[in-house]
């Protein structure tokens, strides 16, 4: 494929993704209402500044995510959020203002399932290089905490957990977690701004590292489960005020 054709294809994909994001934003903001038909195709295309062809491509992608339901012989219908099946769409909705409190707890529930399982897989499979990477990430967390560097603390925290996912050596697991990166970054930034939460996180991460050093699947799973329990308690107490 020539460079020109590649550039044209990339531009079309970008425009189509812009349609997907634009329509999702309109739905999330309530300007396009669940249960109602989409506005006429021409109006939507004009409003988004794209061709009808590009609009149709974007609508097809949202149909694949369960956001838009095709209606034979009529305009397509917008589905309620509870019927959405695409992770991209659900994550975008969850990051919106009105859904953030519920989304934080939903995300934590998912982390419990993913991260405890990942730790269990990773411990017996981890190499000395993985352990050194965990030690490095934890040391960066300590340094960032001491300096009040919240972004640095968050980056090191995410890196610590990423090492565990990599050590688990399961491509499907890694691919499943990747779409949640933006939400994890936002959630960690919110909680890590609290001094006490960072203190607790350091203790829990040290325990996870010790369990990983033993290469014991059971010990690693329990250490990560303890970390997730502490995270939930901190979220409810310090952030959500429950």
Which CATH number fits the domain that encloses residue 146? 1.20.120.530
Tell me the pLDDT tens digit for each residue of 70-93: 998 888 999 999 999 987 788 788
CATH of the domain at 60: 1.10.10.10
Q: Give me the mean pLDDT over the 209-214 stretch.
A: 98
Helix (H) or strand (E) holding 78: strand 77-78
The answer on 78 and 17 residing in a single domain is yes
Shared domain check, 137 and 22? no
Q: Is the domain of 82 the same as that of 132?
A: no
Contact (CB, 8 A) for 88 and 65? yes
- Domain end residue (candidates: 44, 59, 89): 89
So what's the pLDDT on residue 12? 59
Tokens 């006490």, located at residue:
196
Residues 7 and 104 in one domain: no
Q: Are residues 160 and 185 in the same domain?
A: yes
130 and 208, same structural domain?
yes
Asked if 107 and 209 sit in the same domain, the reply is yes
Whether residues 144 and 61 share a domain: the answer is no
Q: Which of 178, 166, 157 is nearest to 125 (CA)?
A: 166
Q: What is the DSSP string of 39-78?
A: PPHHHHHHHHT--HHHHHHHHHHHHHTTSEE--TTS--EE
| CA atoms 67, 73, 74, 75: torsion sign | positive
CA-to-CA dists, residue 59 to 18, 29, 166, angstroms: 11, 18, 35
Tens of pLDDT, residue by residue over 152-201, are 999 999 999 999 999 999 999 988 888 778 778 888 888 999 999 999 99
The tally of domains found in the chain comes to 2
Single out the residue in 33, 55, 89 at which a domain terminates.
89
Band of residue 9 on the pLDDT scale cut at 50, 70, 90: very low
Q: Which of 89, 108, 132 is the last residue of a domain?
A: 89
Give yes or no: residues 62 and 154 share one domain.
Answer: no
Residues 80 and 112 in one domain: no
Confidence of residue 98 (pLDDT cuts 50, 70, 90): low
Task: Report the range out of 10-19, 142-151, 171-180 with the highest average pLDDT.
Answer: 142-151
Domain that holds residue 22: 3-89
Res. 6: pLDDT tops 50: no
- Does residue 85 sit in the same domain as residue 103? no
105 and 155 co-located in one domain? yes
Candidates 66, 92, 95; CA nearest to 79 is 66
Q: Give the helix ranges, DSSP H, for 126-180.
A: 128-146, 150-168, 171-177
């Amino acid at each position: 494929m020539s460079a020109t054709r590649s550039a044209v294809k990339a531009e079309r994909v970008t425009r189509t993704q812009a349609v997907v994001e634009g329509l999702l934003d309109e739905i999330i903001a309530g300007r396009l209402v669940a249960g109602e038909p989409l506005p006429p195709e021409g109006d939507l295309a004009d409003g988004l500044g794209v061709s009808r062809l590009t609009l149709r491509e974007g609508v097809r992608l949202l149909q694949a995510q369960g956001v838009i339901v095709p209606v034979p012989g009529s305009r397509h219908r917008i589905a309620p959020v509870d019927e959405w099946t695409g992770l991209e769409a659900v994550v975008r909705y969850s990051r919106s203002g009105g859904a953030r409190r519920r989304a934080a707890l939903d995300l934590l529930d998912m982390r419990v399932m993913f991260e405890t399982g990942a730790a269990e897989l990773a411990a017996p499979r981890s190499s000395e290089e993985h352990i050194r990477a965990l030690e490095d990430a934890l040391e960066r967390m300590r340094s960032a905490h001491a300096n009040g560097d919240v972004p640095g603390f968050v980056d090191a925290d995410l890196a610590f957990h990423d090492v565990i996912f990599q050590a688990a050596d399961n491509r499907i697991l890694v691919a499943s977690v990747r779409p949640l990166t933006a939400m994890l970054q936002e959630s960690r930034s919110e909680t890590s701004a609290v001094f006490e939460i960072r203190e607790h996180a350091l203790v829990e991460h040290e325990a996870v590292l010790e369990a990983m050093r033993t290469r014991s699947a059971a010990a690693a799973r329990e250490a990560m489960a303890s970390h997730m329990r502490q995270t939930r308690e901190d979220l409810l107490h310090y952030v959500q005020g429950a």
